[in-house]
């Protein structure tokens, strides 16, 4: 009986995610979202109860499920090793240097902008960091088994360090997107593993 929806909620969520990604939670107004999606306030609020913040939290989850796996790529494969870590870092550098990728990582931005005042957002960020650390640890263990890193390497600890390094890479890259600088960071991070 009901009248059918005229828009795709997933498409709306995607547009919202992109806005939050490039401008941050506070900088995006509902009017911005209305313009970006073509969906009027009333419909937005009925499709996403909880309004702007709910849309933001759903954006974080969507980012985790859709964008992150694409960036992680082979690093999440069971056989991942040093090359896959390297590939991930190279991808980060490439993104930071490209005009579209300068927005960095939505979850890093959220850690800084919202983690202190929004526990739910912080939880999503923590989940992301844990996932990243898991990948890195696993890849380092594979690498150790294959003799691609020094035998004395603390895989779990080094994974934590690598996670911090890529967060730092994004902070540096956001303020100072210079290829030589970013490459030096990545190169030296890897020199430490050998």
How far apart (Å, rounded) are the C-alpha atoms in residues 57 and 65?
Answer: 13
Q: How far apart are the first and last CA of the chain?
A: 66
Selected from 37, 109, 137, 142, the binder of a second copy by CB under 8 A is 109
Selected from 22, 36, 45, 161, the binder of DNA by CB under 7 A is 45
Q: Does 166 bind a second copy (CB under 8 A)?
A: yes
Sites for DNA among residues 11-40 (CB under 7 A): 28-32, 39-40
Q: Does 81 bind a second copy (CB under 8 A)?
A: no
Q: Which stretch binds a second copy (CB under 8 A): 18-26, 43-51, 84-92, 141-149?
A: 18-26
Nearer to a second copy, 24 or 87 (CB): 24
Selected from 18, 19, 36, 51, the binder of DNA by CB under 7 A is 51
Q: Which long-range contacts (CB under 8 A, 24 or more apart) does 45-49 make?
A: 47/5, 47/7, 47/9, 47/12, 48/9, 48/12, 48/13
H helices present in the chain, as ranges: 9-23, 30-37, 41-47, 51-62, 68-72, 82-97, 106-113, 119-145, 155-175, 179-191
Q: Which residues bind to DNA, rule: CB under 7 A? A: 1-7, 28-32, 39-43, 45-47, 51-53
């Amino acid at each position: 009986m009901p009248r059918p929806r005229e828009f795709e909620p997933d498409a709306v969520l995607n547009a919202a995610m992109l806005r939050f990604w490039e401008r941050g939670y506070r900088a995006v107004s509902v009017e911005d979202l209305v313009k970006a999606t073509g969906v009027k306030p009333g419909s937005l609020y009925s499709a996403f109860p909880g309004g702007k913040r709910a849309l933001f939290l759903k954006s974080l989850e969507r980012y985790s499920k859709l964008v992150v796996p694409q960036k992680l790529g082979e690093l999440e494969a069971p056989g991942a090793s040093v090359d896959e870590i390297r590939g991930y870092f190279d991808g980060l550098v490439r993104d930071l240097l490209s005009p579209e990728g300068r927005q960095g990582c939505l979850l890093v931005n959220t850690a800084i902008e919202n983690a202190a005042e929004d526990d739910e957002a912080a939880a999503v960020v923590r989940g992301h960091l844990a996932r990243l650390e898991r990948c890195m640890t696993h890849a380092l263990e594979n690498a150790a088994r294959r003799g691609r890193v020094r035998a004395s390497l603390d895989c779990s600890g080094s994974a934590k360090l690598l996670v911090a390094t890529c967060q730092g890479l994004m902070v540096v890259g956001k303020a100072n997107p210079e290829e030589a600088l970013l490459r030096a960071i990545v190169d030296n991070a890897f020199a430490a593993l050998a």
